[in-house]
Chain A
């Protein structure tokens, strides 16, 4: 369970991802990675954040109408919250299983929807919280500790 952070973030940024926009997919995670490299985050943190945010971004592109990314950086941690407007997830535990996917045939043909997105996020973050309302949207909160 994610603990509330007790420090004010040093840096906060907002990004928006449009659902279905495969052309620009990956740009937000690329921007986040760039910021982390700029602040001199360790290679490991950059790598984990890059993979986790990319998967989250692809989830928005594949399944939602739109998604708002909120990045907050404190000296100790990296917090990324993604709130999307979309179909939501019916059974979160099932969605966390490797290989489980509700992706359409079209999305699978594009090389996505292998059911590795959420498990891959989980693998790369220190804490993950997913809440979802079917028919409304999903909120993904992920946490990466920068000093371990």
Chain B
């Protein structure tokens, strides 16, 4: 029930006591996972066994992982801890973030559309736009995310260094959310993804922590500045893009509001929109462990500590340029209208509205739909029957009882006055 109520796209119904997810509405945001008190909803995550499929494995942590521990545990501790865990190597994704940041900055410099360029870092946002705001599809940034850039660099470097094919190298993303887990298998940008799997931060957290505590010596694996780490929180490094009017918005509700306002022209003159499905950005991911507010402070401190001057050289960035634009054609996926054509749809909308009128409109959820409106649509589309509403059922019982009562009041023939039995 909790999941059904919090789902920002009304994608959950309760059937047989369990949550049923309507795939065409789900944006993979993971709010259902976050809010389920029974922890009954889990995302399909990878496991350690997947690692054995590869000759050589490299962990590619989301920068949000750097913010999951206290200040005494540095990004370098974390990368060395990962390496000591089950991976042959750990890659500092902050480096890929620097590539991303550099190219994005140039991209924005040449961008002149009246509508803002929309960041595609968060796969749930891309889904939300496909489903609810197809008009903004053309404004989605066509640039591979840092996790993909990281995968590419890992495969390039390691296959050369070890003399093995890139397929034998397992590039495993350490993710704060199910959306990016899904994006590994259903890429939104590059059809040939360079990531081979993903593990949830929450799944490796305990083991990673003990691996870090066991560290005796450390290699220098952390190669980036604070610029990349900034991508773990909304607007972390947005000012460094040097664009006038760049906006960072987090949480599906607020994002929806901003996109809605943009559609009306209520918000204008925004050049870049950095949108995040999770409140707090990646550190607020449903598979992250640390309190998102504490994690945010840590990110800010790390940015200060390592500075915002990028460490990657321009010629290193150039090596990625050819690869970075997306080749996946993302189609819009608007929710299907209720009817087969405009006339039929309007007829069904009227039917739906008259059903809503007859419902209590308290969104109690007993019918297994999040709102009375969603229930009315379920009735129209055959996913539910009107008597699945407890209030409608109660009306029906009252009606049938009155009918039964009318029979109960029937006077036996021996007492009945001629022609005066009013009971029926």
Contact = CB atoms under 8 A, between A and B. Distances in A.
Are A and B bound to each other? yes
B265 A43 contact: no
B342 A51 contact: no
Interface stretch (A31-39, A96-104, A136-144): A31-39
Interface in A69-120: 73, 75, 120
B337 interface: yes
B264 A26 contact: yes
A4 B338 CA distance: 29
Contact of B350 (A11, A41, A51): A11
B346 A26 contact: no
Given A50-B263, A54-B266, A39 B349 contact: yes
A26 B263 CA distance: 11
B134 interface: yes
A93 to B, nearest CB: 23
Given A10-B343, A38-B337, A75-B342, A51 B264 contact: yes
Interface residues of A, number: 24
Interface in A1-24: 10-11
Contact of A40 (B135, B263, B345): B345
Contacts of A59: none
A86 B294 CA distance: 52
B343 A38 contact: no
Contact of B134 (A26, A43, A53): A43
B338 A47 contact: no
Given A11-B350, A39-B346, A33 B263 contact: yes
Interface string A35-68: 1011111010011001101110000000000000
A96 to B, nearest CB: 18
B336 to A, nearest CB: 8
Interface string A117-148: 00010000000000000000000000000100
Interface of A: 10-11, 26, 29-30, 33, 35, 37-41, 43, 46-47, 50-51, 53-55, 73, 75, 120, 146
Interface of B: 134-135, 260-261, 263-266, 332, 334, 336-338, 342-343, 345-347, 349-350
Query: 3 tightest CB-CB pairs across the interface, nearest first?
Result: A40-B337, A54-B264, A10-B346
